[in-house]
Amino acid sequence: MENSLKTTWVQSEEKLGQYRISLLNWFDEQRRDLPWRQDPSLYKTVVSEFMLQQTRVSTVIPYFTNWLNKFPDFYSLSQADEKEVLKAWEGLGYYSRARNLHQLSKTAANWKHPPVSVKEWQTLPGVGPYIAAAVTSISLDQPEAVCDGNVVRVLSRLFAISEIFKDGATAQKKLRPLAQKLINSGRPGDYNQAVMELGATYAIVHLPCAQPARFFPTVSRADKETGQIVLRSPAKQKKQPVFGDTGLSPKTVC
């Protein structure tokens, strides 16, 4: 995605800053009220990210609430029997996630201070590049960009990327450097959540923005009544593969 990195507005710190502010302003107003965002903690972030792998937000919410009631912190989870853990996970599927989370808790329960680098987090059970970036940015304020299916969808529209990727993993690997370039280092966790929220909740993306449409190469028009800018879908990509938790049916994804 070298061409996207060379896009004029990406190279302008002023315009890049305006994009970040616009996205965060939208997120501050429109963010969903999710249980792991209420009184946030490292433990809540870790649990939610494990549960959200390949699982819709609407499915995860009741499981997350029940989980917190049974295992409110790393220590209580570390002391639980595996059968009890798997029973609490029952219905979410992919039980290796529960086993890995249980094993991780046994390490985390003994932390005086949690590791802050993605490299350290990726040595833990079940933690790959995405979870490592999500946890360190959201809970530890590290400027590490996430790149999941929702981020792929937003970046593909924003930069009119027409390439059809082999699979989700390939798309995420190729777009990760671009995601990293765009991250807001002042509020990295909120920025990551904002991009994912945008990808998960909008098909035709409406990004409230006070900046002129010329700041965004793929902007088709500025809505005169609302002041919002409208991002058009990538050219030549009518049947774009759908990756990640969109919260939308495939027919509604441009």
The DSSP H or E segment spanning 207 is strand 206-208
Q: Could you list the active site residues?
A: 49
User: Which tokens go with 182?
Assistant: 């765009």
Enter the DSSP assignment of 216. Answer: S
Rounded to whole angstroms, the Cα distance separating 243 from 208 reads 24
Q: Identify which of 190, 193, 191 has the alpha carbon closest to the alpha carbon of residue 201.
A: 193
CB under 8 Å to 173, separation ≥6 — which residues?
A: 147
Residue 138 and residue 116 in contact, taking contact as beta carbons nearer than 8 Å? no
Cα dihedral 37/39/45/48 (nearest 10): -60
